[in-house]
Amino acid sequence: MDPKLTRQQAIREAKQNLILDAARELFSCKGYHETGLEDIAARAGFSKAALYSYFADKEDIFLHLALRELDTLQSKMCQCQNENQPPFVNLECMIKAVFETFGEHFSLLLQLSNFSIAAIHTQSKRQQMHKHYALRLRGMLHEFTGAFAACRKLGKIHTSVSDENCARYLSGMIKSVFLKWRLEEKVGDVEKEIDSIMHFITSGVAGDPR
């Protein structure tokens, strides 16, 4: 690629991320519906008119922010794959990455999980959001599945339940913790939740067959 075009693209991406960072902060403290484009522009250091050079509208910003946060989480999960560590350590690392990411941006991610589709009113954008969201969630499920497969390969898992279903059940346990946090409107003890889930896994799916 032309170095000039590469540089221009890098600058554009940097400015887009400035806008997304500002939106993340405002959505977290004010909420999606209470945040206006002018608020995001001011926080990011842009004029409202300049904002349209990077995003079509607030829905577009919300869409890109949601997908960026999921991409960041999946990247953290991928970094947990270490062949020099026991597979259960890698799995625990992935679970911790999920909890820490949600804990760090709990208010925002709670809104994303609640309104990721509902907040998008344009049908084409709703379809786009659903497609990309599903793709990334499948990617994270794939990471969990791979971790269970590695544990099974080393003889650490004896259950007849498939690796993919183990990953799905794990995802369900994690979601149940988020639901509890949502009802309590606060982040709970992350380490305690991780220990509880890992105890269930190691004494359940990793236990001796009956």
Each residue's pLDDT tens digit, 88-147: 999 999 999 998 887 777 766 666 555 554 455 666 766 776 777 788 888 889 999 999
Which structural domain range is residue 38 located in? 1-55
Total domain count, the chain: 2
pTM: 0.79
In this structure, the answer to whether residues 111 and 147 fall within a common structural domain is: yes
Answer yes or no: are the C-beta atoms of 98 and 115 closer than 8 Å.
Answer: no
Q: Mind giving me the DSSP string for 70-119?
A: HHHHHHHHHHT--TTS-HHHHHHHHHHHHHHHHHHTHHHHHHHHHHTTTT
Task: Give the domain CATH number at 38.
Answer: 1.10.10.60
In this structure, the answer to whether residues 30 and 67 fall within a common structural domain is: no
Q: How far is CA 160 from the centre of its chain?
A: 29
In this structure, the answer to whether residues 4 and 102 fall within a common structural domain is: no
Answer yes or no: are the C-beta atoms of 81 and 145 closer than 8 Å.
Answer: no
SS (H, E, C) 149-206: HHHHHCCCCCCCCCHHHHHHHHHHHHHHHHHHHHHHCCCCCHHHHHHHHHHHHHHCCC
Higher pLDDT, 63 or 113: 63
> Which of 55, 75, 90 represents a domain boundary (last residue)?
55
In this structure, the answer to whether residues 36 and 68 fall within a common structural domain is: no
Each residue's pLDDT tens digit, 22-57: 998 898 888 888 899 999 999 999 999 999 999 988
In this structure, the answer to whether residues 106 and 13 fall within a common structural domain is: no
The mean per-residue pLDDT over the stretch 156-169 comes to 91
